[in-house]
């Protein structure tokens, strides 16, 4: 009996390291489809109609399109066999207070007086929004693909958008236009194709593909709201989630994966320094994809800590930080190439239409997005430990 047991263990280890799992991951990757990605981004950014003849013209908090986008997400998950959509409601006014306090505590000490002024203005703006639009949609939307354990791997992306500037202002990155210098333009159309319909598309496409397989860990597909007002939705979710849903193994966030200015495939992977291996899984996924024809990405790694130490405050301040701040250190973000050469911040790689009315599909590179989605799907599949087909 004992000998037999040892042989079985060896065989199953061999299998998972070199055999069936890799075949299954390759199969998943082959299902990532560029025109499907384009369809979802076009629907979320108002290019194509959704839900029987409506258009999501803006996903900014307070705009009807934000609620319409939430309905679209619920509908998208409900259409996937085996998945149901969940809605996480929270009190925006309470959360605006909490996130304001957190931003003050974490970042403001590093800022110069002008940046401090700007940060305080954004905190005030968020509070004003939370009061003025308290009855608007603020919901986070999620869907869970159950695994063998209740421990979750979260694949997250924010679905709200924002307009704060003319895109022309952004065309000279040396002028420091990387920061949010202007208040939210209420009433502006805010297509947010890159920021962040691209990341949301990755979540939905991943849900469609991964739901056809069995995993050791549960996978939560999570679309967060009010990221643009100071990580409000993710802070609310991280606080409640840690208690309600059981353990979170890791958080994989996708924010702005659509613009590749010079076609060099440079992208940014940001993770915490104490994340214990999630970055390695992303690297393994990248190397294995590199063998595949047509895959052209050059990831640059930057640590959350390094980004937080940027002299003018963090640049990759996205939803994974809310979980990281709540103790989920195994957190990572995939984004376009704002860090490279070293890695150093390189804002010439940024989408010139960032946070403007011009952030539409014309600035996107769908081959690039397709490759990042492949990287995301394979990273989640490895992290959640794929066991077989459903």
* Token reading at 190: 């805010």
E strand or H helix at 271, and its extent?
strand 266-271
Using the 8-state DSSP alphabet, how is residue 168 labeled?
G
Q: How far, in Å, CA of 227 to CA of 318, rounded? A: 7
Nearer to Zn ion, 195 or 336 (CB): 195
Q: Which CB atom, from 33 or from 188, has the smaller least distance to Zn ion?
A: 188
Nearer to Zn ion, 147 or 313 (CB): 313
> How far is Cα 15 from Cα 273, in angstroms, rounded to an integer?
31
User: By C-beta, is 133 or 354 nearer to Zn ion?
Assistant: 354
Q: Which is nearer to Zn ion, 95 or 200 (CB)?
A: 200
End-to-end CA distance of the chain: 31
CA distance 380 to 234: 19
**Least distance to Zn ion, CB of residue 4, Å:** 53
Q: Cα 20 to chain center, whole Å?
A: 29
Rounded CA gap, 178 and 124, in Å? 20
Smallest gap from Cβ 192 to Zn ion, in A, equals 8
Task: Note the residues at the interface with Zn ion (CB under 5 A).
Answer: 195-196, 255
Nearer to Zn ion, 77 or 159 (CB): 159
As a dihedral over the C-alpha atoms of residue 316, residue 369, residue 173, residue 119, rounded to 10 degrees, the angle is -30
- Shortest distance, CB of residue 114 to Zn ion, whole angstroms? 23
Q: How far apart are CA 134 and CA 146, in angstroms?
A: 33
Q: How far is the CB of 81 from Zn ion (least distance, A)?
A: 30
Q: Is beta strand 344-345 parallel, antiparallel or unpaired with respect to 339-340?
A: antiparallel
At its nearest, how many Å lie between Zn ion and the CB of residue 140? 15
Q: What is the nearest approach in angstroms of Zn ion to the Cβ of residue 237?
A: 16
């Amino acid at each position: 009996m004992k000998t037999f047991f040892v042989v079985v263990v060896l065989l199953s280890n061999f299998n998972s390291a070199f055999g069936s799992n890799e075949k299954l991951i390759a199969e998943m990757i082959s299902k990532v489809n560029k025109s499907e990605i384009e369809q979802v981004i076009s629907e979320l950014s108002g290019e194509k109609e959704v839900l029987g003849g409506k258009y999501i013209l803006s996903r900014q908090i307070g705009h009807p399109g934000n609620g319409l986008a939430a309905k679209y997400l619920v509908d998208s998950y409900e259409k996937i066999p085996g998945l149901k959509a969940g809605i996480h409601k929270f009190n925006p006014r309470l959360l605006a207070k909490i996130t304001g306090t957190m931003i003050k505590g974490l970042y403001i000490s590093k800022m110069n007086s002008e940046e401090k002024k700007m940060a305080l203005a954004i905190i005030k703006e968020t509070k004003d929004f939370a009061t003025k639009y308290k009855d608007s949609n603020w919901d986070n939307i999620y869907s869970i693909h159950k695994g063998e354990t209740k421990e979750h791997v979260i694949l997250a992306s924010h679905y709200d958008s924002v307009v704060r500037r003319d895109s022309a202002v952004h065309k000279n990155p040396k002028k420091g236009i990387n920061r949010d210098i202007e208040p939210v333009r209420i009433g502006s159309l805010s297509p947010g194709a890159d920021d962040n319909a691209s990341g949301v598309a990755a979540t939905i496409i991943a849900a469609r593909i991964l739901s056809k397989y069995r995993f050791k860990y549960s996978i939560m597909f999570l679309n967060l709201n009010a990221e643009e007002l100071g990580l409000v939705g993710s802070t609310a979710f991280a606080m409640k989630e840690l208690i309600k849903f059981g353990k979170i193994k890791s958080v994989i966030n996708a924010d702005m994966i659509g613009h590749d200015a010079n076609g060099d495939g440079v992208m940014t992977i940001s993770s915490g320094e104490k994340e214990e291996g999630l970055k390695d899984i992303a690297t393994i996924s990248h190397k294995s994809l590199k063998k595949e024809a047509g895959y052209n990405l050059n990831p640059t790694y930057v640590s959350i800590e390094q980004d937080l130490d940027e002299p003018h405050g963090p640049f990759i301040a996205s939803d994974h930080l809310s979980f990281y701040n709540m103790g989920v250190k195994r957190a990572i973000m995939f984004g376009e190439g704002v860090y490279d050469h070293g890695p150093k911040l390189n804002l010439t790689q940024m989408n010139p239409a960032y946070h403007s009315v011009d952030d539409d599909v014309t600035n996107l590179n769908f081959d690039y997005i397709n490759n990042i989605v492949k990287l995301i799907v394979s990273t989640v599949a490895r992290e959640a430990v794929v066991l077989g087909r459903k």
